[in-house]
Amino acid sequence: MTIRRTYSLITASALLALLPGAARADEAPVKEKPPELDAPRPFKLPAPTRFTLPNGLKVSMVPYGTVPKALVRLTVQVGNADDPAGQTWMADLTGDLLLEGTKTRSATRIAQDAASMGGEVAVQAGENLTTVAGEVLSEFAPAMVDLVADVVRNPAFPDSELARLKANLERRLSIAKSQSQQMALEAFRAAMYPGQPYGRLFPAADAVKGYTLANAKAFWSGHFGADRSTLYVVGVFDAKATEAAIRKAFDGWGKATAAAAPAPKAATKRTLTVLDRPGASQSTVILGMPVVDPSSPDYVPLVVTNALLGGSFGSRITSNIREQKGYTYSPFSQVSVRRQGAYWSEAADVTTAVTGASIKEIFGEIDRLRAEPPAAAELKGIQNYLAGTFVLQNSSRAGIANQLQFLALHGLPDSYLSGFVARIQAVTPEEITHLAKAYIRPEQTTLVVVGDRKLIDEQLKPYAPAGQP
């Protein structure tokens, strides 16, 4: 830089400093006030056509969007909660086998047929639901209905694929058991739902080796049936032709015979579980307690409470232990729901030296929310965030199907969706504090920590229940 150029810059800076309202170079820039947001729009579910077949299969057909594609998704109310004792992940193995061929199609033929329609077929087993789904070009919606029905009703269960599928599950188990987050979640769920299917996250080490085709066939024949299933068709499709295909493809499908998993019974006693991970530079912390499920009128306000406390990037716990203290990078909280049950939990990977300090801050934020209502402006920001993300979640064919699945699983009416944004906006600061007192109860905390015990045991002593060393 030349002397002349330097002089010019100094002069310009000096002149700027003399101007009224001009900022000094060493002052922090003043943030520009964001523009006012429009009022959040309520979500309007496109009018579905619903009917039930004589065998009990429920059908929802939802015209949505203008892109010439259609999602066909069958959901069966069966999942890992229905795994027999000693056969955890039987729902996963059964789901994997469904795609290995039917009585008239090989696995390759299933994939080719789906590809010829511009899509693919996927099977996914969850805690309460198993889905068989494909998204195809609009004109192929009836054909995809036929393919989905064939996969779920006529599986071939080929013995030739069993060893490979079990090896995949064992590989998946090995990876999960090597991750501290999964280790902590397994212990957390076992403590939250002791002795129940919801408390069994992973199979025992060698259990998968003993799973047989007979086990999978028994699981499928007992739990898969028309009376436990709902078919969703969402997108652009010929409604008349698609309904005719549904009635033909699922005609005569029988009912499930096995009992559904019982409702979970969550622990309400304060517990501390510590898993030793020698040499770990971080501790994985999960703490939580039972709360109401979506069938409760308190559920939606509780979603707001969670977002404010720890369930959003701007939440209190995240701001505290991430932004202010630097204890962790990605803490989060959630209301985790299942059929007829739910819990609230906060999880974080924290530096080993501040394991106890992090837990102290989390409980401190819980206590603060229980003691005093949040400021109206803070609550308004959270409400706008939730209203906006809710609309985004529903802006796809899969999003619409997800919401309808949610309603069916929890026995909710369509008005739950149309009234969601208004209910979010109606939550008051006093209601937040009331819900925090009612449901986020420290005396009912299930606390799990995975870390180097010789470095964290002393830090955890204040959080051990009475009588526990």
Closest CA to 463 of 355, 370, 367: 355
Cβ-based neighbours of 361, under 8 Å, separated by 6 or more: 317, 320, 321, 325, 327
Counting runs of H as helices and runs of E as strands, what totals does the chain give?
17, 11
Spatial distance between the Cα atoms of 401 and 432, rounded to a whole number of angstroms: 30
- What single-letter DSSP state applies at residue 319? I
Cβ-based neighbours of 157, under 8 Å, separated by 6 or more: 97, 100, 213, 216, 217, 220
Spatial distance between the Cα atoms of 198 and 266, rounded to a whole number of angstroms: 9
Strands of 271-276's sheet in order across: 271-276, 446-451, 282-291, 341-351, 332-338
Bridge partners (DSSP) listed for residue 60: 50, 232
The pLDDT tens digits along the chain (469 residues) read 443 444 344 444 444 444 444 444 455 556 666 667 677 777 888 899 999 999 999 999 999 999 999 999 999 999 999 999 999 999 999 999 999 999 999 999 999 999 999 999 999 999 999 999 999 999 999 999 999 999 999 999 999 999 999 999 999 999 999 999 999 999 999 999 999 999 999 999 899 999 999 999 999 999 999 999 999 999 999 999 999 999 999 999 999 999 989 999 999 999 999 999 999 999 999 999 999 999 999 999 999 999 999 999 999 999 999 999 999 998 999 999 999 999 999 999 999 999 999 999 999 999 999 999 999 999 999 999 999 999 888 999 999 999 999 999 999 999 999 999 999 999 999 999 999 999 999 999 999 999 999 999 999 999 988 766 5
């501390």: which residue's tokens?
272
% helix / strand / coil in the chain, to the nearest 5?
50, 20, 35
Cβ-based neighbours of 2, under 8 Å, separated by 6 or more: none
Token representation of residue 138: 């609009």
pTM for the model: 0.89
Spatial distance between the Cα atoms of 92 and 173, rounded to a whole number of angstroms: 12
Spatial distance between the Cα atoms of 128 and 368, rounded to a whole number of angstroms: 35
